[in-house]
Amino acid sequence: MKKPIIDPWGAVLFKDYQKIIKNFGITPFDEEILSKLPNPNKLMRRFVVFGHQDLERIVEAMEKKEEFCVVSGIMPSAEKLHLGNRLVVEMVKYFQDQGGKTYLLVADLEALATRGISLEEAERRAIEFYIPAYIALGLDPKNTNFYFQSKNEVVKNLAYEFSTKLTMNEFRAIYGEINAAKIMSVLTQIGDILHPQLKKPMPTVVPVGPDQSCHIRATRDVARRYKKYKFILPSATYHKFTPSLDGEIKMSKSKPGSYISIPEDPETAAKKIMNAVDGGRKTAAEQKRLGGEPEKCIVF
């Protein structure tokens, strides 16, 4: 039976998280792992984080006060961040607060390869909106290593090294049909995740949505095969998607009006919220008889 494919560049809203856990080798995030985490944040306590891979490794590092790092990236494919991106920021902040060395990359090469955004425009967006938004949402800039993919020669060199460790058939098995630009993007992301371990192997955690699980899988495959650097397989946490305001896709910068930007002026945000799917019935009589459907209410 053919294994399901997830498109990390798409905007599909996944709702069956148990199916994702089953199909993609993700460990459920449960009370047991929650009880081991120091001062878990609200995304963990409310199980918005639904799965993980090898998070025990990070827990052990925190308990023993050993070095570990957290890696995340932002692709400036639109002018600003949106509300759904906040989940990633909160998870990165959590691991940073627990002592994790923090690496935040601007995926300008990925934006160029997959969205046609010039390096100059990507840099402008990152400096004017993306990085300030991450800092405003709580990331400590003094303890964060910011960099642009296009300016990190180590990461780019690793991408070429790692290209020898994955075949085209393996790329297709993980990503489906994939073009050369996306292949280079994947290899660069693998370099992003693993390059903090070049000086010293250490546990690494990458907080992502389930659509990015394919990148984690590819990275772990490369780390497992590449004996030269003695990489520790990266860990990951997986959080549920924030739906778009119309409830049709995950909140995405690719669909205007379906997301709330960070920052967003109050009047525009209020207008968007008032037009969001609210879980109300089709008629007043039906609403009175059956009540609303809060599980469908995006605002709720």
Strands 101-106 and 204-208: unpaired
- Tens-place pLDDT, residues 10-43: 656 667 788 888 888 899 999 999 999 999 999 9
pLDDT surpasses 80 at 263: no
Please give the pLDDT value at position 250.
65
Q: How far is residue 257's CA from residue 274's CA, in Å, rounded to a whole number?
A: 12
Please give the pLDDT value at position 1.
43
Please give the pLDDT value at position 211.
86
Higher per-residue pLDDT: 109 or 269: 109
pTM, 2 dp: 0.87
Please give the pLDDT value at position 289.
76
Going by the DSSP 8-state scheme, the letter that residue 134 receives in this structure is: H
Q: How far is residue 2's CA from residue 105's CA, in Å, rounded to a whole number?
A: 34
**Topology of the domain covering 17-239:** Rossmann fold (3.40.50)
Helix extents (H) in the chain? 17-23, 31-36, 42-45, 55-63, 86-97, 108-115, 119-125, 131-136, 153-162, 168-175, 180-194, 213-225, 266-274, 284-290
pLDDT surpasses 50 at 9: yes
3 — pLDDT class (breaks 50, 70, 90)? low
Residue-range domain boundaries for the chain: 17-239, 266-296
65 — pLDDT class (breaks 50, 70, 90)? very high
pLDDT surpasses 90 at 57: yes
